[in-house]
Amino acid sequence: ELRVYMNHLNGSRIHLAEDRVFYYRDSVYSNYSRDCFLQAVAFQREVINNIIPTVKPDLIHCNDWMTGLIPAARRLGIPCLCTVHNIHTQKATLEVIEDRGIDAAPFWSNLYYSRPPLNYEESRSSNQVDLLASAIFASHYINTVSPTFLQEVVSGMYSFVPEGIRSEMAGKFHAGCAAGILNSPDADYNPE
């Protein structure tokens, strides 16, 4: 598939996140949350450390917890949009994140923690970062996959939505920085 894309696009427009964790996979997602976490952190490490500095994009578009560190780590004031597809999240300490190759010290204060952090040193090994709440918190704007989903989360309709995610989505909504959009165009939409 990569060869097909490379034949149609200039090579400078394709940027791959490369890590051994991606090489021998039969599917994009794993049934094991540890595997998904390791894949997500490897992808974010490559985006934060290599792709963003190389590409210098005008806008960054992230999706769900798997890209939750990127809005906090964006450099040079690049605006970030985060699409929230669901309320699933993962948590990890700064220590675990940094052991996977992401220097979180420069952006630790842009992350959402299990409890309010006193400082970087105090939080590094004992205060878990919520990756989805961090993505919502640090993004300039968020959207959800439907207007109904956004309203349901913001209004607190479901008790299973973690409070950090609900409160951050509500904050973006009340600040005018959130919208619910349909996940696909209407069936009668003709792109021509």
pTM: 0.86
pLDDT tens-digit series, residues 60-84: 999 999 999 999 987 668 999 999 9
Side chain identity at residue 114, one-letter code: S
49 three-class SS: helix
Task: Give the angle subtended at the CA of 52 by the CAs of 87 and 37, to the nearest 5°.
Answer: 35
Task: Give the angle subtended at the CA of 5 by the CAs of 28 and 56, to the nearest 5°.
Answer: 85
Contacts for 178 with CB less than 8 Å, ≥ 6 apart: 141, 142, 143, 144, 150, 154, 169, 172
* Pairing between β-strand 141-144 and β-strand 129-130 as defined by DSSP bridges: unpaired
pLDDT tens-digit series, residues 81-137: 999 999 999 999 999 999 999 999 999 999 999 999 999 999 999 999 999 999 999
Question: Residue 81 is inside which H or E element, if any?
Answer: strand 80-84
Residues of 134-156 as b/e, b for ≥16 C-beta within 10 angstroms?
A: bbbbbbbbbbbbeeebbebbbee
pLDDT tens-digit series, residues 152-169: 999 999 999 999 999 999
Side chain identity at residue 162, one-letter code: P
Quick one: tokens of 41?
A: 């952190």
35 three-class SS: helix
